[in-house]
């Protein structure tokens, strides 16, 4: 996971919008977006501001945890990078909060969507 993705993940875990981060850091929202999307590499001073705004230590943003032994982490393919990885992580955050019956419904719908797609191919 790159630095921008770690910043986005930390921001989303705190339930902050980019606008919230803009207010807390004094940086423009468009700049925060460029950092999160990997279009801009921030300076250490900027990273310190972001870390403070997220109530984190700087090393927590910079530290890249090796999850190669984590069975639930995707190794490659869909959900490994970019928007798909953010979507996958969002599902991982939300799934524990829903009821078992809703989980089963979600799995049923996903199965039907895949079956419907296969029949059209």
**Averages of pLDDT over each 10 residues, the chain, 121 residues:** 85 94 95 92 91 90 60 58 79 81 85 78 65
Is pTM, for the whole model, over 0.75? Answer: no
Spell out the residues 6+ positions from residue 19 whose beta carbon is closer than 8 angstroms to its own: 29
Q: Can you give the pLDDT at residue 76?
A: 60
Question: Domain spans of the chain?
Answer: 3-62, 82-120
CA distance 50 to 57: 10
The class of domain 3-62 in CATH terms is mainly alpha
Q: Can you give the pLDDT at residue 22?
A: 95
Q: Can you give the pLDDT at residue 113?
A: 86
Q: Which contacts of 28-32 are long-range, i.e. CB under 8 A and separated by 24 or more positions?
A: none
Q: Can you give the pLDDT at residue 86?
A: 81
């Amino acid at each position: 996971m790159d630095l921008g993705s770690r910043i986005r993940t930390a921001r989303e875990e705190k339930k902050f919008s980019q606008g919230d981060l803009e207010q807390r850091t004094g940086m423009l929202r468009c700049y925060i977006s460029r950092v999160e999307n990997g279009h801009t590499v921030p300076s250490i001073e900027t990273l310190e501001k972001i870390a403070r705004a997220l109530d984190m230590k700087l090393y927590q943003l910079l530290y890249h945890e090796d999850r190669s032994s984590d069975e639930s982490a995707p190794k490659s393919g869909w959900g490994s990078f970019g928007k798909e990885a953010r979507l996958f992580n969002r599902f991982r955050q939300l799934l524990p909060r829903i009821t078992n019956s809703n989980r089963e419904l979600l799995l049923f719908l996903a199965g039907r969507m895949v079956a419907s797609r296969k029949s059209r191919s």
